[in-house]
């Protein structure tokens, strides 16, 4: 009996030790796994923090890189900005009823943590008018600029693209501008399957259609008109045609309203200049026109552009006929 009891006890004791042995290993594995998970989480969090910082800096750098591309009221300029990693570039246009701003933010693709993080901190740009889709993606971004006059010099317009565009039936004046600037992501007629198709004057299988409506005193019928997209029609004058082609509706309308506020502000400056010219015996008859013009432009949207263009052209003729010109 004693021997049997001893055997039972010994067996139980060994079984208990085996249980303790296995539990220690299980605990070690669980604890080690938890520590490893925390380490990975910490690394991912640190990596995400670094990515946020680098994405924020990338947005600032992108803004700075567009500085030399501003036309400076020349015929325009073109450049290509490339990233080593696939990048999402967000362009948010904010209109506060005054000068407003474009906010640029960047998210870079990564193999660590989430494939795409939320974008880094936004860079606010108050003195540029950047026309594009709100969300853009790729390694390469194509940027060109054109001046905007209405009727005086207002600002440079910056156009941002992340893909190839194919222009169908483009008039010579449009094709000439593209070729003169060397915009290599815009091709003519021979469209690839993944290119954005822009048709001039109508067509089929088009992503957007540009309808010119200028008649009389125009360099081209496309000096004013409408860009028709599935999301709606965008009215334009002059170089705003490019913005209407390359922008989402919200970004386009916001930038146009920002521009019109700038037109109004410049009109106020010129009105004060007219007073100064009067005091120096070099009067002008445009002061009253400028006050009315500023009021019209300050409340304008893209729907008003074509009508305002007629007023702007009349003011420009009057200014050119003055002995002392305001602009």
Q: What is the pLDDT of residues 77-106, one digit of tens each?
A: 999 999 888 999 999 999 999 999 999 999
- Pick 327 or 12 by higher pLDDT: 327
- Pick 273 or 59 by higher pLDDT: 273
pLDDT tens-digit map of 222-276? 999 999 999 999 999 999 999 999 999 999 999 999 999 999 999 999 999 999 9
Rounded Cα distance, 96 and 161, in Å:
25
Structure token pair of residue 127? 């003195």
CA–chain centroid gap for 202, Å, is 27
Q: With b meaning 16 or more CB within 10 Å and e meaning fewer, what string describes 22-32?
A: eeeeeeeeeee
Is the pTM higher than 0.85? Answer: no
Beta-sheet pairing, 123-125 with 130-131 = unpaired
In DSSP terms, 212 is beta-bridged to: 225
Q: What pLDDT is stored for residue 297 in this prediction?
A: 97
Among candidates 185, 135, 193, which has minimal Cα distance to 163? 185
Average of pLDDT values for 192-205? 95
pLDDT-derived band at 13, boundaries 50, 70, 90 = very low
Lowest mean pLDDT among 35-49, 95-109, 179-193, 247-261: 35-49
Among candidates 207, 195, 140, 194, which has minimal Cα distance to 165? 195
CA–chain centroid gap for 118, Å, is 17
Residue whose pair of structure tokens reads 């006050």 in the numeric block? 291
How do the domains of the chain map onto residue ranges? 1-162, 253-320
């Amino acid at each position: 009996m004693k021997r049997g009891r001893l055997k039972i006890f010994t067996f139980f004791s060994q079984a208990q030790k085996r249980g303790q042995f296995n539990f220690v290993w299980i605990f070690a594995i669980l604890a080690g796994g938890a520590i490893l998970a925390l380490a990975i989480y910490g690394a991912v969090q640190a990596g995400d923090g670094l990515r946020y910082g680098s994405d924020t800096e990338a947005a600032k750098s992108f803004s700075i890189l567009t500085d030399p591309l501003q036309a400076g009221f020349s015929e325009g300029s073109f450049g290509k900005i490339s990233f080593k990693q696939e990048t999402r570039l967000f362009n948010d246009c904010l209109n506060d009823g005054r000068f407003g701003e474009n906010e640029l933010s960047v998210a870079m693709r990564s193999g660590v943590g989430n494939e795409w993080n939320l974008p880094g901190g936004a860079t606010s740009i108050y003195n540029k008018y950047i026309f594009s889709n709100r969300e853009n993606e790729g390694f390469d971004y194509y940027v060109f600029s054109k001046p905007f006059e209405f009727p005086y010099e207002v600002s440079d317009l910056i156009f941002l693209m992340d893909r190839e565009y194919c222009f169908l039936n483009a008039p010579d004046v449009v094709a000439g501008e593209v070729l003169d600037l060397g915009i290599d992501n815009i091709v003519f007629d021979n469209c690839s399957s993944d290119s954005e198709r822009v048709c001039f004057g109508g067509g089929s299988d088009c992503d957007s259609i540009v309808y010119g409506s200028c008649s009389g005193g125009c360099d081209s019928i496309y000096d004013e008109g409408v860009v028709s997209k599935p999301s709606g029609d965008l009215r334009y004058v002059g170089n705003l045609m490019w913005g209407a082609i390359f922008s989402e509706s919200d970004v386009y309308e916001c930038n146009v309203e920002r521009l019109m506020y700038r037109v109004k502000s410049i009109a106020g400056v010129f009105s004060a200049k007219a007073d100064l010219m009067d005091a120096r015996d070099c009067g002008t008859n445009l002061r009253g026109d400028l006050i009315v013009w500023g009021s019209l432009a300050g409340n304008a949207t893209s729907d008003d552009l074509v009508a305002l263009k007629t007023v702007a052209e009349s003011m420009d003729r009057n200014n050119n006929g003055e002995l002392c010109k305001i602009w």
